[in-house]
Amino acid sequence: MKIKSMVLVFALLFTLGAGTAAAAIRKSTIRIDGMHCKNCSGSVAKVLKATAGVINVDVSHERKEAVVEYDDEKVTEAKLREVINATGFKAVE
Amino acid sequence: MSRRAVLLGLICLLASSAAAGQKSPEKLTPELILRDIRGRTIRLSDYRGRIVLINFWATWCPPCGAEIPDLVQLQRNYRHQGLRVIGITYPPQKLSEVRGFTRRLGVNYPVALGTKEMKALFTSSEALPITIVIGKDGRVRDTIEGILLPEEFEQLIKPLLSRPANLSETKK
């Protein structure tokens, strides 16, 4: 009985831990105004990649958006928008 | 396979990996004589012994405008350590537009109107903004595409400021 409850507790803790880790990785698509060329998307991608917590970045001037995968315990979407705005482009809602 | 052949193969492998690890020698910057937007003459050779950042930019390029306040700050903070920023616009650019733009941003370093050929002297990259880092010996040390990040300044430029100038190298 004692062993059974211990196994149950461990299983519960493991599930909770895995759930927390999975929830930390997020993907946001942010629309950006003002990008007209490859250089523009390159500039935005560079600053996003240098932001702590950002895991993966795909910026397209054709789609006028940035798809950012990030650790939401280290960076927020609001911060990513700030970083984009600091490049001279505009992250739109 | 004989032991001798294996040894020979190993030596070749080591020699090729050593060659691959060598950094290609930085090229000496071309002599560049510019007239800035205030009519002053800028000779790149006059900057030997300084760390020069040649920043190619344009008024129509949003990241270029976003980067300028940082360059102004760097010029202010590191001037006494020998840092010199030179802005060169990427064409087409009107003199009056560039003057207004730099005045608004309080640019504290010389800015000149550039040509595509001028940019091609330093890099074939199409990126904008782009910053060419020139060492105290007049050699190109780095080319930074996009906005110059604080960590790039710390890692690539700041160490050059404290390094003594070896101007004799420039005569080679």
Inter-chain contact A89–B126, Cβ cutoff 8 Å? no
A40 within 8 A of A34, measured Cβ to Cβ: yes
pLDDT digits (tens, 9 = 90+) for B39-84: 999 999 999 999 999 999 999 999 999 999 999 999 999 999 999 9
pLDDT in tens, A19-78: 455 558 999 999 999 999 988 999 999 999 999 999 999 999 999 999 999 999 999 999
- Other C-beta atoms closer than 10 Å to the C-beta of B42 total 17
ipTM over 0.85: no
CA-nearest residue to A33 within chain B is: B62
* Residues in chain B with pLDDT values less than 70: 1-26, 166-172
Q: To which H or E segment does residue A6 belong?
A: helix A2-24
Contact B147 A47 (CB under 8 A): yes
Contacts (Cβ under 8 Å, ≥6 apart) of B59: B65, B89, B93, B97, B98, B101
Q: Are strands B83-89 and B51-57 parallel, antiparallel or unpaired?
A: parallel
Structure tokens at A66: 């940035």
Q: How far apart are CA A70 and CA A52, in angstroms?
A: 9
**Cβ neighbours of B115 (radius 10 Å):** 12
Window B:105-134, CB contacts with A under 8 Å: 126-129
CB atoms within 10 A of CB A62: 10
pLDDT at A13: 54
Q: Select the residue of A46, A50, A88 nearest B62 (Cβ to Cβ).
A: A88
